[in-house]
Amino acid sequence: MDYAASFYIIAPELMLTGAALILLLVAAWVRDAAKLATIAAVVALFGATFWTGHLLLDPSFDQGADAFGGLYRMDDFGSVAKLLIYLATIACLVVTPRFFDRRGAYRAEYPVLLLLNAVGMGMMVSAVDLMTLYIGLELSSLSSYVLASFLRDDTKSSEAGLKYFILGALASGIILYGMSLVYGFSGSTQYAGIRLAFADGLSTGALFGVVFVLAGLAFKIAAVPFHMWTPDVYEGAPTPVTAFFASAPKVAAVAMLVRMAIDAFGAQIDAWQQIVIFAAMASIVVGALGAIGQENLKRVLAYSSINNVGFILIGLAAATPSGVSAVLIYLAIYVAMTIGAFVAVLMLRDRDGEQLETFTDIAGLSTVRPALALSVAMLMFSLAGIPPLFGFWGKFVVFQAAVQADMLVLAAIGIAASVIGAFYYIKFVKVMFFDEPVREAEIHSPAGHWVVLGICVLIISPLGYLLTPWLGAIADSAAAALFTVV
């Protein structure tokens, strides 16, 4: 085993781990180190992003490379997912301090938790062994539980953390039990060995193992029927944490699910395809209908997240290279739309600095904050998939992949549900532009918030279509890397 090559491949994870441990010591010994720790964490994440991009573009790694005897695989698929994870984490860190500063609750442990979470997510998307996968999953999950309850004096935050912990522990147990069944009936924890063992068919016990693993992973991506935690946790957790949950961990969980389905269970696509199709249709419908009666903005965005997971799963259900490519394209656009939406929510405050959390609170926003109201409108139209905004392209590529895979009914249901979902997105526009103001919104927001929001809005604007050749080429390359093992 060439340890030097292995350490070279996992340099992003080593960089983030080292930064997290150093910042943990800084947090213990230096007073008021929160801002310093945030800056250092952002620098470390940029370094990991740069190194991951280097590995992605390095021609010597065109075929990928394994580390530590096949426990970890560096390929284009994992690198693209990690780029999205690191960039989303950076954006969430940039807009975080102001939210906690007003409450005097910002501590240096926050960026440390995000760094450790990023390490776990990186391991999840690059794992090709069940043990590596579970270690990365738990590292990410444990830090997420703490983040959800970071406001210790806030009842809603504590409740969100407790709910997330209990249901997350249940999901982890389900995944672990499924892994034990898969290992017992395949004799291997490595994806390649599992695929080879299942090539001739699945026994009843092995099928139960596959179902349990997929059920546990469905919880992690908030797919129906394992979505029940999402609205409560999104509403109760601090808003910057909710923005993080809706973006980076979502990318990691989806990428982990795709790699396991295509790589480990790729020889038995029929065994899991029906499960994914059901989860996709149910998530689209429940996400679209569940948001209609909501008044809290974060709960609406929670159901929007469930709805979008359904569209993402359509690409996986196709079980083709074009379907996986569509999943990655949708994820890239989804990250920009989601972070932009939650940053806008963070910027919605009244003159006293209190958060505006309901539709009633943002009535008539366009009269006071026209630029912010216009940005929110563009983000909502993009989430609804209305052309010419870039969100339309994400839905188009997944529907195209489904049609190419002869899943016309699934594509038709997705298109119909998109029309239903547009109702609550358009409600944002109606309330902001046509209703009378009820609360006075603050006039100014921090420059960092405007920078992140501006970048997100620019990406989802019609100018985003200029990225389609580049984004499509990278997504196709990443999907091809995943299917070379099939």
pLDDT, tens only, 169-216 = 888 899 999 999 999 988 888 888 888 888 887 888 888 988 899 888
Can you tell me the distance from the alpha carbon of 446 to that of 95, in angstroms, rounded to the nearest whole number?
Answer: 9
Cα 5 to Cα 24, 69, 478: the distances in Å are 28, 11, 21
In the predicted model, is pLDDT for residue 1 greater than 70?
no
pLDDT, tens only, 296-338 = 888 888 998 998 999 999 999 988 899 999 999 999 999 999 9
Q: Helix 391-404 vs helix 370-383: angle between axes, to the nearest 10 degrees?
A: 0
Sign of the CA dihedral running 93, 99, 102, 107: negative
Question: Both tokens of residue 407?
Answer: 């899943």
Q: Give residues with Cβ within 8 angstroms of 259, minimum separation 6.
A: 77, 78, 125, 127, 128, 191, 482
Sign of the CA dihedral running 403, 413, 298, 16: negative
Spell out the domain ranges in the chain.
Answer: 3-483
Would you state the pLDDT for residue 411?
A: 87
Residue 415 burial (10 A CB sphere; 0-12, 13-18, 19+): middle
pTM: 0.92
Average pLDDT over residues 215-241: 87
> H helices within 104-238, ranges in order?
109-126, 130-148, 155-186, 191-197, 204-220, 230-236
Q: What is the mean pLDDT of the chain?
A: 87
Question: Both tokens of residue 424?
Answer: 């609550």
pLDDT, tens only, 29-43 = 887 788 888 899 999
Would you state the pLDDT for residue 83?
A: 93
Better-scored residue on pLDDT, 438 or 369: 369
Least confident of 154-163, 252-261, 326-335: 154-163
In the predicted model, is pLDDT for residue 486 greater than 50?
no
